[in-house]
Amino acid sequence: MRRLAVVGFAALVALAIGATALFTADLEPARAAARHTARWSLVWFLIAYFVATLARRGRELSEGERLGWLGLCAAHLVHLGFVFHAIAASDFPFIPLRAAGGALAYALLVTIAYGAHRGARWATRAADLGGLWIGFVFFETYRSRLAHPELAMGAWSA
């Protein structure tokens, strides 16, 4: 029940953040929804990976880590929906290598969340290694925005 509450909370807040952004006065509300849900997912990533994983140092995933990965997965899948919405409403150029990297990150995220939920032994290693890749994708997505703040769609912006 606790896991369901955490997943529901993460997903519902992400939905609320994205839906609120869609009804703002922003000129591009779809992009704003994707940006705001990405920031909410970043909070969950920091909880799931940097705080919990780096403090664990090799032991099995704690209950807090399992909840963190499940929350991140729920929030980030909602974010993915807003990204697809923004892509449908925009004319961003598609960059295959970035899209493939992002797809791998999502696959790892769902795999880690599934393994963490099931208490699988391999979930610890997947969280350690997959978290590095997911962190790299986060970094690359935001790095392009530091040089070009007008860009907001990761794989669909150069």
**CB-neighbour burial class of residue 21 (10 A; exposed 0-12, middle 13-18, buried 19+):** buried
Question: Tokens 């997947």 — which residue?
Answer: 126
Q: Where are the domains of the chain?
A: 2-156
Please give the Cα distance from 82 to 61 (Å, whole number).
30
pLDDT tens figures, 124-158: 888 888 888 988 888 887 777 677 666 555 444 43
R_g over Cα of the chain: 16
| Reported pTM | 0.71
pLDDT of residue 70: 82
In this structure, what token pair is assigned to residue 33? 């929804």
Averaged over 7-21, what is the pLDDT? Answer: 72
User: Of 41, 39, 45, 38, whose CA–CA distance to 65 is shortest?
Assistant: 45
pLDDT tens figures, 44-78: 878 777 666 666 656 677 777 777 788 888 888 88
Please give the Cα distance from 29 to 35 (Å, whole number).
10
